[in-house]
Protein backbone atom coordinates (compact mmCIF):
# COMPACT_ATOMS: atom_id res chain seq x y z
CA UNK A 1 0.00 0.00 0.00
CA UNK A 2 1.30 3.42 -0.95
CA UNK A 3 1.59 6.17 1.64
CA UNK A 4 2.13 9.78 0.71
CA UNK A 5 3.51 12.01 3.42
CA UNK A 6 1.46 14.99 4.46
CA UNK A 7 2.96 18.43 3.95
CA UNK A 8 2.82 18.96 7.69
CA UNK A 9 4.82 15.80 8.35
CA UNK A 10 7.44 16.65 5.75
CA UNK A 11 7.80 20.24 6.99
CA UNK A 12 8.23 19.06 10.58
CA UNK A 13 10.71 16.37 9.51
CA UNK A 14 12.78 18.81 7.42
CA UNK A 15 12.90 21.28 10.31
CA UNK A 16 13.88 18.55 12.80
CA UNK A 17 16.70 17.21 10.60
CA UNK A 18 18.23 20.62 9.94
CA UNK A 19 17.84 21.67 13.57
CA UNK A 20 19.66 18.49 14.60
CA UNK A 21 22.51 19.30 12.19
CA UNK A 22 23.06 22.60 14.02
CA UNK A 23 26.09 24.57 12.85
CA UNK A 24 26.90 21.88 10.27
CA UNK A 25 23.58 22.40 8.47
CA UNK A 26 25.02 24.53 5.60
CA UNK A 27 27.68 21.92 4.84
CA UNK A 28 25.12 19.11 4.84
CA UNK A 29 22.63 21.19 2.85
CA UNK A 30 25.12 21.31 -0.05
CA UNK A 31 25.88 17.59 0.26
CA UNK A 32 22.18 16.70 0.34
CA UNK A 33 21.66 18.78 -2.80
CA UNK A 34 24.52 16.99 -4.57
CA UNK A 35 23.12 13.61 -3.53
CA UNK A 36 19.67 14.58 -4.83
CA UNK A 37 21.20 15.69 -8.15
CA UNK A 38 23.09 12.39 -8.42
CA UNK A 39 19.89 10.42 -7.77
CA UNK A 40 18.12 12.42 -10.50
CA UNK A 41 20.92 11.77 -12.98
CA UNK A 42 20.86 8.02 -12.29
CA UNK A 43 17.19 7.93 -13.32
CA UNK A 44 17.90 9.47 -16.73
CA UNK A 45 18.31 7.24 -19.78
CA UNK A 46 20.86 9.78 -21.01
CA UNK A 47 22.00 13.14 -19.65
CA UNK A 48 20.47 16.28 -21.15
CA UNK A 49 22.53 17.47 -24.11
CA UNK A 50 21.66 21.16 -23.82
CA UNK A 51 19.70 23.74 -21.84
CA UNK A 52 16.37 22.78 -23.45
CA UNK A 53 16.94 19.14 -22.53
CA UNK A 54 17.91 20.09 -18.98
CA UNK A 55 14.77 22.21 -18.55
CA UNK A 56 12.56 19.39 -19.83
CA UNK A 57 14.23 16.70 -17.71
CA UNK A 58 14.35 18.65 -14.43
CA UNK A 59 10.75 19.87 -14.75
CA UNK A 60 9.54 16.32 -15.53
CA UNK A 61 11.31 15.02 -12.43
CA UNK A 62 10.02 17.81 -10.19
CA UNK A 63 6.43 17.38 -11.39
CA UNK A 64 6.58 13.59 -11.16
CA UNK A 65 8.54 11.34 -8.81
CA UNK A 66 10.30 14.20 -6.98
CA UNK A 67 7.29 16.42 -6.45
CA UNK A 68 8.15 18.72 -3.53
CA UNK A 69 5.93 21.63 -4.60
CA UNK A 70 2.77 22.47 -6.50
CA UNK A 71 4.74 24.27 -9.22
CA UNK A 72 8.42 24.00 -10.22
CA UNK A 73 9.26 25.80 -13.48
CA UNK A 74 12.77 26.24 -14.78
CA UNK A 75 13.89 28.96 -17.19
CA UNK A 76 17.13 29.90 -18.90
CA UNK A 77 17.12 33.67 -19.37
CA UNK A 78 19.51 33.99 -22.33
CA UNK A 79 21.88 36.30 -20.45
CA UNK A 80 23.91 33.62 -18.69
CA UNK A 81 21.39 33.25 -15.89
CA UNK A 82 18.70 30.76 -15.00
CA UNK A 83 15.85 30.59 -12.51
CA UNK A 84 13.74 27.94 -10.81
CA UNK A 85 10.31 29.27 -9.85
CA UNK A 86 8.67 27.31 -7.05
CA UNK A 87 5.23 27.67 -5.53
CA UNK A 88 3.66 25.58 -2.78
CA UNK A 89 7.01 24.20 -1.59
CA UNK A 90 6.97 21.69 1.27
CA UNK A 91 10.58 22.51 2.19
CA UNK A 92 9.80 26.22 2.65
CA UNK A 93 7.19 25.27 5.24
CA UNK A 94 9.87 23.37 7.17
CA UNK A 95 12.18 26.36 6.93
CA UNK A 96 9.43 28.56 8.32
CA UNK A 97 9.29 26.29 11.38
CA UNK A 98 13.05 26.77 11.79
CA UNK A 99 12.84 30.56 11.38
CA UNK A 100 10.00 30.79 13.89
CA UNK A 101 12.25 29.15 16.47
CA UNK A 102 15.12 31.55 15.73
CA UNK A 103 17.07 29.25 13.42
CA UNK A 104 18.13 29.54 9.79
CA UNK A 105 16.38 27.62 7.00
CA UNK A 106 18.16 25.38 4.51
CA UNK A 107 17.14 24.65 0.92
CA UNK A 108 18.70 21.53 -0.59
CA UNK A 109 16.71 22.17 -3.79
CA UNK A 110 18.85 25.22 -4.58
CA UNK A 111 21.96 23.07 -4.21
CA UNK A 112 20.41 20.18 -6.15
CA UNK A 113 19.71 22.39 -9.17
CA UNK A 114 23.19 23.94 -8.99
CA UNK A 115 24.83 20.52 -9.00
CA UNK A 116 22.51 18.98 -11.61
CA UNK A 117 22.87 21.93 -14.00
CA UNK A 118 26.65 22.02 -13.60
CA UNK A 119 27.03 18.32 -14.37
CA UNK A 120 24.51 18.27 -17.22
CA UNK A 121 25.75 21.40 -18.98
CA UNK A 122 29.40 21.00 -17.95
CA UNK A 123 29.50 24.62 -16.81
CA UNK A 124 30.29 26.46 -13.60
CA UNK A 125 27.06 27.36 -11.79
CA UNK A 126 26.71 29.89 -8.99
CA UNK A 127 23.66 30.44 -6.81
CA UNK A 128 23.08 34.18 -6.93
CA UNK A 129 20.16 34.32 -4.55
CA UNK A 130 16.53 33.70 -3.89
CA UNK A 131 13.52 35.97 -3.86
CA UNK A 132 10.41 35.25 -1.84
CA UNK A 133 7.67 37.49 -3.31
CA UNK A 134 4.58 35.79 -1.93
CA UNK A 135 3.39 33.43 0.75
CA UNK A 136 5.59 30.81 2.41
CA UNK A 137 6.44 28.26 -0.27
CA UNK A 138 6.87 30.66 -3.19
CA UNK A 139 10.34 31.62 -4.38
CA UNK A 140 12.63 32.27 -7.30
CA UNK A 141 16.01 30.50 -7.03
CA UNK A 142 18.52 32.33 -9.23
CA UNK A 143 21.69 31.04 -10.86
CA UNK A 144 24.60 32.39 -12.91
CA UNK A 145 26.09 30.16 -15.59
CA UNK A 146 29.79 30.57 -16.53
CA UNK A 147 32.24 28.99 -18.97
Domain membership flag for residue 7: no
Please state the three-class secondary structure of 10-36 as a single string.
HHHHHHHHHHHHHHHHHHHHHHHHHHH
Range of the domain at 117: 24-146
Indicate whether 18 belongs to any domain.
no
pLDDT of 49: 84
Q: How many domains does the chain have?
A: 1
Q: Say which CATH number the domain at 81 has.
A: 3.30.1380.20
pLDDT band at 64 (very low <50, low <70, confident <90, very high): very high
Rounded distance between C-alpha atoms, residue 139 and residue 18, angstroms:
20
Is the residue at 4 inside a domain? no
Do the domain assignments include residue 118?
yes
pLDDT band per the 50, 70, 90 thresholds, residue 119: very high
Q: Is the pLDDT of residue 72 over 90?
A: yes
Tell me if 50 is assigned to some domain. yes
Q: What is the pLDDT of residue 141?
A: 97
Tell me, yes or no, whether 92 lies in a domain.
yes
Sequence-distant (≥ 6) Cβ neighbours of residue 78 within 8 angstroms = none
pLDDT in tens, 87-113: 999 999 999 999 999 999 999 999 999
The answer to the question of residue 14 being in a domain is no
Domain membership of residue 12 (yes or no) is: no
* pLDDT band of 78, cuts 50, 70, 90: confident
What's the rounded Cα separation, in Å, for the pair 103 and 118?
Answer: 30
pLDDT bucket at 1, cuts 50 / 70 / 90: low
Which pTM does this prediction carry? Answer: 0.92
Read off the pLDDT band of 7 (50, 70, 90): confident
Amino acid sequence: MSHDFSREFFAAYHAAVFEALGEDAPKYNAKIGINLANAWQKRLKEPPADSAGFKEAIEAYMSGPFRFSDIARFEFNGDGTACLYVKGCDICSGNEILRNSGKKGSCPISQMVKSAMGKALKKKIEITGSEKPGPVGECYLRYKISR
